[in-house]
């Protein structure tokens, strides 16, 4: 996902033809990193897969599980947590759409209307994220909290009842998700908008397209790679997040991440946690593949 880089991937420089002869060098360069990724990404995922079909023998201590290839675990885990699964995808989906609605005009403004301010504004987009993610979420809990400024203001208005609450609501969780992943949406959008040659927009104007038509028929299609990258980079972390649901939500807004976390630590039920993690990963990978196919962009990887 070359989301930070507007540079088109040029074809390999001609100079390398000499260097590209078969040698051991590339393998030596790849070796340490690949060992790390295989040892600490592939192997753990395999362990997770194997854990997911384990069961706890009768009378064994808490946290002791043996392999018994019980695939039923998946159905049990899914059925017990259907709501949380559904909620995760719903919240992440809404947050992604909201982030797109906020980011597209913002990225458009920076790409086409900002002039010399461009790089300064880009820094401003990323800057809030230099403050810790947790601290910003905690700040939202206090801003939206019962004694916070927003609730006090709403209470002063005639059309809200006095027991209005914003925290511990789905609204707060979705706002938190939208806020926290915003730069992941804005940066790829900016990268693909910035790459658009302004002459194509002029050409559309010359061909009697009005502003709206130009936007709809030229700008939007050309920015599709950014839209796809941005929505994925927002949706994937949002669907697996549990910090927002924990800090800004209530027990009825628990997402699948909260369940996996508590299965691991509070309940010490590793197989269920593993089965849920695997289901989440599979669901996301399938969605991502379908989405990339459908939108016809291969530039992401």
Partner 1 sequence: MKTNTLAPAPMPTLSHRASRWFARNLIRIYAALAFIYLFIPVAYTFAFSFNDAGKSNLVWKGFTLDNWKNPCGAPEVCSALGNSLKIGLISTILATILGTMIAFALSRYRFKGRSAINLLIFLPMATPEVVLGASLLAMFLNFRTNPGMTTIIIAHVMFCISFVVVTVKARIASLDPRLEQAAMDLYANERETFRYITLPLVMPGIAGAALLSFSLSFDDFIITNFNSGTVATFPKFVYVSAARGIPAQANVIGSSMFFIALFIVVAGQIISRRRKAR
Instruction: Name residues contacting partner 1, limited to 148-177 (CB under 8 A).
Output: none
Rule CB under 8 A: say whether 267 interacts with partner 1.
no
Q: What b/e string do you get for 17-36 counting C-beta neighbours within 10 Å, with b at 16 or more? A: eeeeeeeeeeeeeeeeeeee
Residue 277, both tokens: 């993690």
Would you say 74 or 270 has its CB closer to partner 1?
A: 270
Rule CB under 8 A: say whether 12 interacts with partner 1.
yes
Query: From the CB of 252, what's the least distance to partner 1, in Å?
Result: 18
Query: From the CB of 20, what's the least distance to partner 1, in Å?
Result: 5
Would you say 204 or 255 has its CB closer to partner 1?
A: 255
67 beta partners? 54
Rule CB under 8 A: say whether 278 interacts with partner 1.
yes
Cα distance between residue 296 and residue 87, in whole Å: 28
Helix (H) or strand (E) segment spanning residue 2: none
Query: From the CB of 76, what's the least distance to partner 1, in Å?
Result: 17
Which range in 75-83, 132-140, 158-166, 213-221 contacts partner 1 by CB under 8 A? Answer: 132-140
Q: Please compute, for residue 165, the number of CA atoms within 13 A of its CA located in the half-sphere on the CB side.
A: 10
Determine which residue in the list 77, 100, 177, 232 makes contact with partner 1, applying CB under 8 A: 232
The DSSP code for 54 is: E
Query: From the CB of 217, what's the least distance to partner 1, in Å?
Result: 19
- What's the Cα-to-Cα distance from 75 to each of 64, 80, 103, 280, 301, rounded to whole Å? 21, 8, 38, 13, 32
Query: From the CB of 78, what's the least distance to partner 1, in Å?
Result: 15
Rule CB under 8 A: say whether 80 interacts with partner 1.
no
């Amino acid at each position: 996902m070359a989301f930070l880089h507007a540079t088109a991937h040029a074809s390999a420089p001609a100079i390398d033809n000499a260097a590209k002869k078969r040698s051991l060098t590339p393998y030596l360069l790849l070796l340490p990193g690949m060992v790390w990724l295989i040892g600490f990404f592939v192997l753990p995922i395999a362990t997770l897969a194997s854990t997911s079909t384990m069961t706890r023998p009768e009378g064994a201590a808490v946290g002791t599980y043996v392999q018994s290839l019980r695939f039923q675990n998946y159905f049990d885990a899914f059925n017990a947590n259907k709501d949380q699964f559904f909620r995760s995808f719903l919240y992440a989906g809404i947050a992604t759409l909201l982030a797109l609605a906020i980011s597209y005009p913002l990225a458009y403004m920076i790409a086409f209307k900002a002039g010399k301010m461009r790089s300064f504004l880009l820094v401003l987009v990323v800057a809030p994220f230099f403050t810790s993610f947790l601290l910003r979420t905690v700040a939202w809990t206090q801003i939206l909290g019962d004694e916070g400024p927003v609730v006090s203001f709403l209470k002063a208005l005639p059309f809200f009842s006095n027991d209005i609450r914003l925290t511990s609501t789905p609204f707060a969780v979705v706002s938190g998700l939208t806020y926290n992943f915003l730069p992941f949406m804005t940066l790829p959008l900016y990268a693909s908008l910035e790459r658009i040659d302004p002459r194509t927009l002029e050409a559309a104007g010359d061909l009697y397209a009005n502003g709206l038509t130009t936007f709809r028929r030229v700008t939007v299609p050309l920015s599709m790679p950014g839209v796809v990258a941005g929505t994925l980079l927002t949706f994937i972390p949002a669907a697996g997040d549990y910090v927002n649901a924990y800090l800004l939500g209530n027990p009825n807004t628990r997402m699948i991440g909260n369940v996996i976390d508590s299965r691991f630590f509070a309940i010490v039920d590793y197989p269920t946690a593993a089965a849920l993690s695997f289901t989440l990963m599979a669901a996301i990978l399938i969605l991502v593949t379908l989405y990339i196919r459908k939108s016809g962009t291969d530039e992401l990887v």
